[in-house]
Amino acid sequence: MHDSGIKLSSNEDPNVLTQEQALVVRDIDKLLEDDSNECIDRFLQGFKILIKKERYLKKALMPTLFKNSTNRTESDVEIQQESLFRIFLKVSRLQKEIIEILMDELTSTITDENHDVSRLRLLLGQLRYLPHIKDSENLTTKLLDIIDVASYPSQLEILDSIPEILPDSEYNETAKELGKMLDKNDNLSAAIIDCLNALNLSPEIRAQIQDHVLAKILTGTSTKIFPVFLDFLMADLNARTLPGTLVKIRNALNTIMASNNKENESCKVMIFNRLQKAAALKLISESWLTVISSIKTSTDHKPVDLLILFMLHSCSKLKKRTVEATFRKRIKDGQFKCALLEQLFEKYLPQQLVRDYFTTIVEVASSLLRCSNDHIVTEFAATLFKLLFTHEHTDRTSRQEILENMIVFVGASDQKNVNVVLNIIFDLLDEIAKTPNHAIILMRLLEELDRFELKDVKLVFQILCSLTCSDESLLGLKEEIHMVVRKQLSSSKRQLKHRGIVSAVVMVKNIATTTEDQSSVPPKKQPP
């Protein structure tokens, strides 16, 4: 070693190089080139004897110092160089044996129950970013074998290092083995996926791993780690492969989101947060729309398709009209049916997603009502409003917002849509009656009476009287309704008087059907 410019330190100081490390590597290579294998064996044997002592091993793993003078003066230049292990790894004739030594040290380190992770990190660091590896296949096999027997913290360290240690030529085989590891330990999934994402894989191998990941998800055993899997599934996508990948993700999502396991709710939310972040890319959002629009029959649609569209709608203002148009077309063509909506609200919406997509759902439903004269579309929109209002995760404030939205909608809509909205409110009376404040909001309908047809006036009073006649706490509202009816009846205008007669009949009917023991519960609503 001394002849090549290495000066071993016997104290706590680092080992010293008397020339730059590139020259040290060159000189060692020359010395070994002119000698037999016996010389190489003696060199390695001497090095092994040296590092048997822990302090010398650690020193061989630590950086060396290049000093341009053996005399320590103020003018001496000290430059940090790589460790002895790193230097020897760059000597072609020594590399294989030095790697063997490191593998042995790694194995002994991970089998020590009290081992220090920093020591493992130091050993792995010797192998990072080597300019050339003679037997990369053997190194790959040994590293993967070590992972199998290592403790969890050690496994994480090794997986984190693999992309920086192995050459590109070993990435595909490594990915196959990592894919198998996914089946053994869910706790390692995040680290394995991070490792896979860092590998430059061929399209064929990436597709194989994607299929493996999706198959694992569909078994129902990996819901918690699906958000992590998405990072791999959505990485390195292109216009050619993306639709096929999204179809697979969609199928897996439908299974996951339908799960009734409450413990998985946070994972479901995390999944859609990841999807929404990815959908900010135009390529991905447009591909999602293409996938959903290409489904041919209603039976092939899944409830998660609706959820994906809500997610896309919430991503960007630029996508809102496109998503709303997709909804209308799918509904008109008979692809989206109300039964699909019912399935979505029954099983697929955890509390946080209801909150996250509440505004989006209201906007979509309003758009469907506002922009269509098709009965099928308005029925779908009405069902959407009803399901959202009655959903277990829709809180009082959100229900109030829905009613206020409907009041505004009534004031800005034509007669046909007014009747649709009023019928939605009428169908929700049982739920509305549970919160007196909702009745106060609906009293604003009286301000729009002059715009309504007679049948809609009747429906408004049916709604308001059903809510107020049986609830003593709403006596003030009931008196206000009486005043409106009296004003109509006393009007000299024939049209207003007709409205007053209809309103009075509805009010009397509701009063007559109200009993004293129903003072806190509205009477059973009668069709208008």
Q: With left for phi above 0 and alpha for psi between -120 and 50, is residue 526 left, alpha or beta?
A: beta
247 Cβ contact list (under 8 Å, min separation 6): 291
Question: pLDDT (tens digit, 9 = 90+) per residue, 313-369?
Answer: 998 777 899 999 999 999 999 999 999 999 999 999 999 999 999 999 999 999 999
pLDDT value of residue 72: 53
Average pLDDT over residues 514-528: 51
> Of the segments 111-120, 153-162, 366-375, which one has the largest average pLDDT value?
153-162
Going by pLDDT thresholds of 50, 70 and 90, the confidence category of residue 34 is low
pLDDT value of residue 517: 44
pLDDT value of residue 75: 55
User: Residue 145: how many CA atoms within 13 Å on its side-chain side?
Assistant: 10
Closest CA to 433 of 500, 364, 360, 514: 514
Q: What tokens were used for 80?
A: 């940090």
pLDDT value of residue 232: 84
Closest CA to 272 of 384, 351, 390: 351
Going by pLDDT thresholds of 50, 70 and 90, the confidence category of residue 227 is confident
Question: Does the pLDDT at position 87 exceed 90?
Answer: yes
pLDDT value of residue 516: 46
CA distance 480 to 482: 5
pLDDT value of residue 4: 83
Question: pLDDT (tens digit, 9 = 90+) per residue, 40-63?
Answer: 888 899 999 999 999 999 999 999
Average pLDDT over residues 235-263: 84
Question: pLDDT (tens digit, 9 = 90+) per residue, 474-502?
Answer: 778 888 888 988 888 888 888 888 888 98
Question: pLDDT (tens digit, 9 = 90+) per residue, 91-113?
Answer: 999 999 999 999 999 999 998 77
Least confident of 83-92, 296-305, 444-453: 444-453
Going by pLDDT thresholds of 50, 70 and 90, the confidence category of residue 389 is very high
Question: Does the pLDDT at position 71 exceed 60?
Answer: no
Question: Does the pLDDT at position 522 exceed 60?
Answer: no
Question: Does the pLDDT at position 525 exceed 70?
Answer: no
Question: pLDDT (tens digit, 9 = 90+) per residue, 287-301?
Answer: 999 999 999 999 999
Average pLDDT over residues 162-190: 92
Question: Does the pLDDT at position 142 exceed 60?
Answer: yes
- Report the mean per-residue pLDDT for the chain: 88
Average pLDDT over residues 261-275: 87
Going by pLDDT thresholds of 50, 70 and 90, the confidence category of residue 526 is low
pLDDT value of residue 35: 62
pLDDT value of residue 433: 87
Average pLDDT over residues 440-452: 89
CA distance 110 to 94: 25
389 Cβ contact list (under 8 Å, min separation 6): 399, 402, 428, 431
pLDDT value of residue 239: 79
pLDDT value of residue 16: 93
386 Cβ contact list (under 8 Å, min separation 6): 424, 427, 428
Residues of the chain above pLDDT 70, percent: 93
Question: Does the pLDDT at position 78 exceed 90?
Answer: no
> Residue 184 gets which letter from DSSP?
T
